[in-house]
């Protein structure tokens, strides 16, 4: 088998996820971030942007407090792409209710043993053990291990557009996919990347894209019961940095 599948969900589902054993309790994911911190080392798609911090007030300079001004693209670090990103009439952030961002049915597909992962298509998703009402599909390509090097943004995997319809067909309740690559659009094939964005974010059932997710801490022995994605609340935005907390 190419890749490994971690099936995760609510305790007791189909006999899985039970907390009766002490070992299973210890393997539950908790108290980690699946988001990267923003900073001057944050990589950006294309390599020509930076996260900038300007000191506005400084105790060291004699002010009574420290205050700073941040400047960055909204597609910075771990972030969620919304339909408005590629569709002028697409939904923006304020159109999603708060409970939309709480996922209790999650699956993780681990492809990191196939490095380098060049293409991610429907065939790899056949490995996923299906959950009823799957809400979020995480895909660990292993590319996250290259974060901090130019290769991370220059040569990410190509996500094929036909994945979107495949996922809609197999998982009719799917709301989002998240992955450890800087974008669903590889810099090596931007035409396919644009088509992939439109395929996922378009239509009556958009699948949101959570990009640059920190999946390095996860392994197949762990169990995720729930994931909360907390976007930075900005009106009329096509994307927003987000904090991802599993438990």
C-alpha torsion 56→62→63→65, nearest 10:
90
Lowest-confidence region among 15-24, 103-112, 227-236: 15-24
State the DSSP code for 10: S
Check pLDDT > 70 for residue 20.
no
3-class secondary structure, 146: helix
Provide CB contacts within 8 A for 97, sequence distance 6+: none
Band (89; pLDDT cuts 50, 70, 90)? very high
What stretches of 92-238 adopt beta strand conformation (E)?
102-103, 106-110, 119-120, 136-140, 158-159, 176-179, 208-211, 227-231
**Residue 176, burial from CB neighbour count under 10 angstroms (0-12, 13-18, 19+):** buried
Lowest-confidence region among 23-27, 66-70, 223-227: 23-27
**pTM (predicted TM-score):** 0.89
C-alpha torsion 140→143→146→149, nearest 10:
-130
HSE-CB at 13 with a 13 A cutoff on CA atoms is 18
Nearest to 96 by CA among 190, 175, 3: 175
């Amino acid at each position: 088998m190419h890749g490994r599948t971690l099936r995760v969900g609510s305790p007791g589902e189909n006999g899985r996820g039970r907390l009766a054993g002490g070992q299973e309790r210890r393997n539950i994911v908790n108290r980690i971030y699946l988001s990267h911190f923003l900073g001057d080392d944050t990589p950006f798609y294309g390599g020509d942007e930076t996260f900038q911090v300007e000191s506005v007030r400084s105790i060291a300079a004699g002010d009574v407090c420290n205050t700073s001004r941040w400047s960055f693209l909204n597609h910075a670090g771990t972030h969620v792409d919304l339909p408005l990103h590629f569709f002028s009439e697409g939904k923006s952030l304020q159109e999603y209710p708060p409970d939309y961002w709480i996922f209790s049915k999650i699956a993780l597909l681990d492809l990191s043993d196939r490095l380098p992962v060049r293409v991610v298509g429907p065939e790899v998703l056949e490995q996923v053990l299906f959950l009823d009402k799957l809400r979020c599909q995480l895909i660990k390509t292993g590319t996250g291990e290259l974060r901090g090097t130019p290769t991370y943004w220059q040569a990410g995997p190509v996500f094929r557009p036909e994945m979107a319809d495949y996922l809609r067909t197999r998982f009719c309740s799917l709301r989002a996919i998240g992955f450890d690559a800087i974008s669903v659009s590889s810099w090596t094939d931007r035409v396919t990347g644009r088509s992939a964005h439109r395929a996922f974010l378009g239509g009556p059932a958009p699948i949101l894209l959570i990009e640059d997710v920190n999946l390095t801490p996860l392994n197949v022995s762990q169990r995720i019961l729930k994931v909360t994605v907390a976007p930075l609340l900005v009106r009329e935005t096509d994307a927003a940095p987000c904090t991802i907390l599993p438990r």
